[in-house]
Structure 1
């Protein structure tokens, strides 16, 4: 029996690596002889570099860069030949900002630009920037400032400092990445501005109240007027990713690609699934968004192409079962339900996930490919 275990992180509790190890341990508790292949995954957000390093090897380049509030933070760039992988969350992630200090009007993506610069200095000709989990809403202005764009003091001071910006010089930043292919790895398709934009959709989770969201959207509009006068890039799908970091990369000639697809290709999930009896994936919350291109959706579709059943383990499960089945999900299991409470699921995540995996393993002979559990 070969089980491929390919989860995302369980946000706030377990990394993808920890989640995969917990599921594998639970399965082996019941089936000691099972061949469990752990394949931790990321959609481009937190864990992007760790997951890819585990899958493809390469060399980690340790850096000290500007964090979201200006203090230095440590971050790695993954170098694989002439391709570099940068995780934006390592430089400007929400986890780097204490809860009582979260304010996307102040946080900056400057550190992301510094990581890109280090990658280029190291010889990278392609730089893939994993997006997600950011604390910022500056449209990538801080990143541009780190690469030489001006006025540096305004661009690097957070989204709020962009209000009233009349002009910006991005030419130095363009020269800094000349000849380098930039890729924004994200499955977010939001534009920069408006009701579906960076501020309105993601601002509240970063500390912005409704009034702050309106102010941030207006500030980003000023920034866009100064850098994209014809309006083409601000409306592009993915421009609003990571608080508008996608927009900043588009200004530099970058492209937006699926973070899920890039990671699944890098780890070779297609070939692994082809030889499996079962694929197990998971994330913190398996909900309607999970079936709109997020990582479990990509894993399930990969398994389905080979006629292999796929089960989901998640902290909470609210996705419609019929929609999940159409996506290739055989069954979904809630950690909160199995643990008995949210508190237990959060405080003993690894132990409870291991126990849940063992329960699934015991039931596995009674789970068939038509999507029924017994």
Structure 2
């Protein structure tokens, strides 16, 4: 039997690569004769560069860039021929902010990664958006590429208060005719009821009482640069990094689609008898551009069954099938919550072995 193993990261516990290896280890324990094809996945957030490096090869350019509070932070750019892949979470991820000082966190480091890609000779730069701890509208990225204003652009959203002038022409000149892609599934606008501050601010540590203030600063910022772009779908991605990239002429593409295409997921699904995916928490929000839903859709197009393994499963069978998944299995149901967090790889391995009893021939 041929099994395609295509999980996302298990946030906070396992990378997508580690999750794929754990699932494979458990499956082999129960069904050693099965042929396994490991295709760890990402949607533009944490793990984006690692997954693409695993699939495409290429060279990793090791760098030190500005973190969300200006501290030196290690990061990498993946170079594959004349295309560079940048993972914004490496420079401004939530794991770097710890949900602290959300009004001061900057995306300057992401701009430094893009600048490094340009200096390395890239003709196309793909920026993975997701998992950010910032809500600065991408102002820091613009500053790193040469944009100027009458307020600091690289000191977080609070520094944008009172902005009346800004010029991004130097940043656009820096890019020249290089193609820019924003890899994101988020459709939110920069500001308003469905904007970056209102929708994603609380998960980055922004208190409810501060949302209106931060949204107002982003409104001022957008009014100075380009209000129309701020209302485009995807401008609110990664705390507004999407807005900065759109200002610079970026094309937006769903992150999962980009990774699936790069890894030939559709072709690999057609060659398999079963597709296995997974993530930390499998719930109905998985439909909003998350990896398991995307993998399930690819499996459906290949007319192959898809099952999901997760830390927790928070949907019933009806919702599961609406997501395109035949069955979903939870680590906490098999080994308990304590072990699931203490030994996630071992717990996932045990879960995969149990699933293989049901699904392997």
Q: The TM-score by the shorter chain falls in which range? A: over 0.9
**Structure 2 partner of 1:268:** 264
Secondary structure of the corresponding residue to residue 154 of structure 1: coil
Given the alignment of the two structures, is residue 313 of structure 1 paired with residue 309 of structure 2, yes or no?
yes
Deviation at 1:153, TM superposition (A): 6.1
Query: CA distance change for structure 1 residues 279 and 192 in 2, over 3 Å: closer, same or farther?
Result: same
Distance 1:187 1:104 in 2: 23
**Structure 2 partner of 1:357:** 352
**Structure 1 partner of 2:105:** 107
Query: What are structure 2's unaligned runs of at least 5 residues?
Result: none
Distance 2:152 2:87 in 1: 24
Secondary structure of the corresponding residue to residue 279 of structure 2: strand
| 148-157 or 350-359, larger mean C-alpha shift | 148-157
Distance 2:66 2:3 in 1: 41
Distance 2:331 2:253 in 1: 31
TM-score where L is the length of structure 1: 0.94
Q: Contact 1:104 / 1:138 at 8 angstroms: preserved in 2?
A: no
Deviation at 1:281, TM superposition (A): 0.4
Deviation at 1:96, TM superposition (A): 1.4
**Structure 1 partner of 2:11:** 11
**Structure 2 partner of 1:169:** 167
Deviation at 1:328, TM superposition (A): 2.2
* Aligned residue pair count: 361
**Structure 2 partner of 1:289:** 285
Q: Contact 1:288 / 1:320 at 8 angstroms: preserved in 2?
A: no
Distance 2:317 2:24 in 1: 25
Deviations 1:24-81 (A, max 9, x none): 0000000112111111111000000000000001111111111111001111101111
Residue 125 (structure 2) aligned to one of 124, 127, 142: 127
**Structure 1 partner of 2:341:** 346
Distance 2:300 2:92 in 1: 36
Q: Contact 1:103 / 1:206 at 8 angstroms: preserved in 2?
A: no
Distance 1:265 1:164 in 2: 43
Query: CA distance change for structure 1 residues 301 and 110 in 2, over 3 Å: closer, same or farther?
Result: same
Query: CA distance change for structure 1 residues 128 and 2 in 2, over 3 Å: closer, same or farther?
Result: same
| 138-147 or 279-288, larger mean C-alpha shift | 279-288
Provide the aligned C-alpha RMSD in A: 1.3
Given the alignment of the two structures, is residue 337 of structure 1 paired with residue 325 of structure 2, yes or no?
no
TM-score where L is the length of structure 2: 0.97
Deviation at 1:151, TM superposition (A): 2.7
Deviation at 1:322, TM superposition (A): 2.1
**Structure 2 partner of 1:140:** 138
Deviations 1:147-175 (A, max 9, x none): 00013861001111111111111111111
Deviations 1:218-255 (A, max 9, x none): 11001001101xx2111111100000000000111112
Residue 206 (structure 1) aligned to one of 194, 204, 207: 204
